Structures are given as C-alpha cells and as structure tokens.
C-alpha cells in the first residue's frame, strides 16, 4: 500500500502526466455537456397545433387543438406550449391560423382583447349605442366596463323656461369605455386615455328614444350618465318623471311609420333547420359577410355568446334546448331569432 501511494505521488509530481489527465477530464466534460445539449434539443415535446384552419376572431374550442411531438430545438420562444392557454381564447383579428400550424403568442388573444368584444356582449334583441362622454361626465374617468348606469335628461337652458331634469333610462350595463380613437380606455397600457364614449346595448325602442333626445340639443336637451341608484341635484329645476320626458321627446319628434320587417322578409335574419332525432343536428345559416360586414353570433341554451365567421354552423342537441342566432350590422341593428329545440316546424325556420 505504501509503495502504491509513493508511486501515485511520484506520478502526480510529473507535470506532463497532470496535463494529460487534465485535458482528458476537460474533454470528457465537454463531451457530456455537448451530448446533453444535443439530447435536450432533439428530445420531442408535445406542442398544441390546429386541427383545422381557424379564421380571425374565432373562438378556439377543444376540438380545434391537438397535441403533437415536435423537436424542442424547432420551437421558438413565442410558441404556446400549453393547451390550456389556447382553448377558450380567440384568433387575432389579423391572423388566420392554418391547419397543422402551431399557436403563437401574437395570434391568440382573449375575448376581452378583441376590438369588437363589446359587440359580442350585447344581449339578444338589443342594439349597440355609442354614448358620447368626457372626463367630467364620467366623474373623472370613474365609470368602468361592467358598471350599471342611468341616463338622465335635462331640458331647457333656464332663459325662456324652467329647467326640467329627470331619469330617462335606468339600469344600463356599460360594455366598454373607449377614447376618441376607439381604443379601450382601461387596457393594460402605460398610455393615458381620455374617455370619449360609453358602449352599451339597448332595446330598439329605448335606442330610438335616446337617439331622438340626442338630436335635441337646440332645445337645450342635455343627456348625461349617473351611476345607477345615485342621487341627482335638482335644485333650481323641476324634477319630472320618465313618462314626462318621453312625452316631451315625442312631442318634438316626427314619427314616420316604417315597413314591418318580419322573419319572412328579412334577408339578414338567420335561418335554422334540424334533422330531428337524438342526437338532433341543428344547422344555422347566416348571410354572406359574417366577420366582415356583420357580427354573427349564436347562444346555445344558457352558454355564452359565440362569434362565427362562416355562413353555416352545426350544433348537436341531445335533448330539449333553446337557440338564439343574431346578425348585427355596423350601425348596431340586430336581426335576432330565438327558438326552442326541437322546433315546432323543423324546416327552414326564419324563412
């Protein structure tokens, strides 16, 4: 043993031997590190890809995504690697995701990030209204999407007649707050944006009423939002009822009867057919232009509203249910059809 230790000490005192051993150790470490990097680079990982071509503004559902093995080295940093980060999101407004393509961070956005997200939140049978505001009328930019507001109306300037103030419409949900360029005021941005419009939905009769009142500024009519349930100072003015305000608007308006539009003569009304049986395949047929000229949506039972960009949409019902399909024009006019499934007449409802 002593001889062995003496030989080892003598060996390590030889600089050439130590150098050779050091070089060998370095080469081994380099080889192991290189091999590890190569293995990690070519090791397959599961990545979500599209099972079909996904058009812009389309909600990405579970059946549109599948996992495939891809070499890790072929994946860039902006590739989304988790299925849960894709399903339920939307394809970006300027992005078509081809079949077989991976999903990238700049092609997938949330529903709230869609430029027309407010339109998708409009309830069936309602019309989108753009209500002009400023920093003062929003209480220092304190009205947020989701807040409930009332619309108050002031009549007169106090010179020729006593001012009237009253609540015209109440309990309206604010869907979006935008600046003069149409950008969401409360987006996660470092920019300071000034509110210029509140976006909300109204039944057609209330839409018409509010629109009429907005054209009466020459009569001293002023419209302004108030947080729902808030008190309004009426000192120096006459507090009037909603009906009195409606009567005033009607008295200063000319009502021209419009031809009645029914499901039979409305070219933009969605059409619905079903196969019957169980399961029951229900097909919605939309007019050409969904996603470009019109915002086309449907609501199955109590699920959330879904936007489509194609002319037909098939749904499967395994029992009784409800269906609402809507086509909305750029000016906010909605063509909406609500039916029970199964339908009383199973051929071409809405034609």
Residue-wise pLDDT tens digits, 202-227: 988 899 999 999 999 888 899 999 99
Mean pLDDT of the chain: 81
Strand partners, 280: 317
Comparing 124 with 317, the larger pLDDT belongs to 317
Query: What is the model's pTM?
Result: 0.49
* pLDDT beyond 90 at 185: no
pLDDT at 347: 41
pLDDT at 350: 46
* pLDDT beyond 90 at 150: yes
* pLDDT beyond 90 at 152: yes
Sign of CA dihedral 9, 11, 14, 18: negative
Query: Which residue, 205, 203, 179, 204, is CA-closest to 191?
Result: 179
* pLDDT beyond 70 at 179: yes
The answer to whether the CB of 202 falls within 8 A of the CB of 169 is: yes
- Tokens for 334, please give them: 């909605």
Supply the angle between the helices 242-251 and 204-214 in degrees, to the nearest 10.
70
Calculate the alpha carbon distances from 32 to 40, 68, 154, 328 in Å. Answer: 12, 29, 81, 63
What is the DSSP track for 136-203? TTTTTT---TT-EEEEEEEE--SSSS--EEEEEEEEEE--EEE-TTS-BTTSS-SS-----EEEEEEE
pLDDT at 348: 43
pLDDT at 35: 63
* pLDDT beyond 70 at 345: no
Name the least confident of 141-145, 154-158, 318-322.
154-158
- The residue whose two tokens read 């049986």 is 277
H/E element, 34: helix 15-42
pLDDT at 92: 82
Most confident of 217-226, 328-337, 342-351: 217-226
Nearest-angstrom CA–CA distance, 317 and 225: 42
What does DSSP assign to residue 276?
-
pLDDT at 161: 64
Residue-wise pLDDT tens digits, 240-296: 889 999 999 988 887 656 555 555 678 889 999 988 888 889 999 999 989 888 889
pLDDT at 148: 93
Comparing 93 with 132, the larger pLDDT belongs to 132
Task: For residues 35-62, give the mean pLDDT.
Answer: 79
Residue-wise pLDDT tens digits, 107-134: 898 877 776 666 667 777 788 899 999 9
């Amino acid at each position: 043993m002593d001889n062995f230790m003496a030989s080892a000490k003598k060996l390590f005192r030889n600089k050439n031997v130590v150098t050779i051993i050091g070089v060998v150790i370095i080469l081994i470490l380099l080889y192991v590190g290189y091999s590890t990097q190569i293995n990690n680079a070519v090791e397959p990982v599961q990545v979500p890809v599209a099972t079909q071509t996904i058009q812009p503004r389309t909600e990405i559902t579970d059946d549109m995504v599948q996992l495939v093995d891809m070499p890790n080295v072929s994946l860039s940093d902006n590739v989304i690697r988790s299925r849960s980060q894709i399903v339920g999101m939307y394809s970006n407004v300027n992005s078509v995701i081809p079949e077989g393509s991976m999903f990238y961070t700049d092609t997938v956005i949330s529903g709230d990030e869609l430029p027309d997200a407010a339109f998708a939140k409009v309830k069936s049978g309602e019309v989108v209204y753009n209500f002009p505001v400023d920093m003062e009328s929003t209480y220092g930019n304190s009205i947020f999407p989701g807040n409930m507001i009332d619309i108050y109306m002031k009549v007169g300037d106090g010179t020729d007649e006593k001012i009237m103030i009253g609540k015209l419409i109440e309990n309206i949900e604010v869907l979006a707050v935008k600046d003069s360029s149409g950008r969401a005021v409360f987006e996660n941005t470092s920019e300071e944006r000034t509110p210029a419009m509140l976006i909300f939905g109204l039944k057609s009769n209330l839409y018409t009423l509010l629109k009429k009142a907005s054209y009466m500024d020459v009569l001293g009519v002023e419209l302004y939002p108030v947080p729902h349930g808030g008190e309004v100072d009426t000192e120096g003015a006459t507090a009037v009822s909603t009906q009195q305000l409606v009567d005033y608007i009607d008295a200063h308006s000319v009502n021209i009867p419009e031809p009645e539009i029914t499901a039979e003569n409305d070219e933009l009304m969605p059409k619905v057919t079903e196969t019957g049986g169980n399961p029951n395949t229900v097909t919605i047929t939309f007019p050409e232009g969904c996603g470009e000229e019109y915002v086309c949506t449907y609501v199955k039972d109590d699920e959330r509203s879904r936007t489509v960009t194609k002319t037909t949409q098939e749904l499967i019902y395994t029992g009784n249910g409800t269906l609402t399909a809507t086509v909305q024009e750029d000016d906010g006019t909605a063509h909406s059809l609500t039916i029970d499934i199964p339908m009383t007449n199973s051929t071409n409802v809405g034609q």
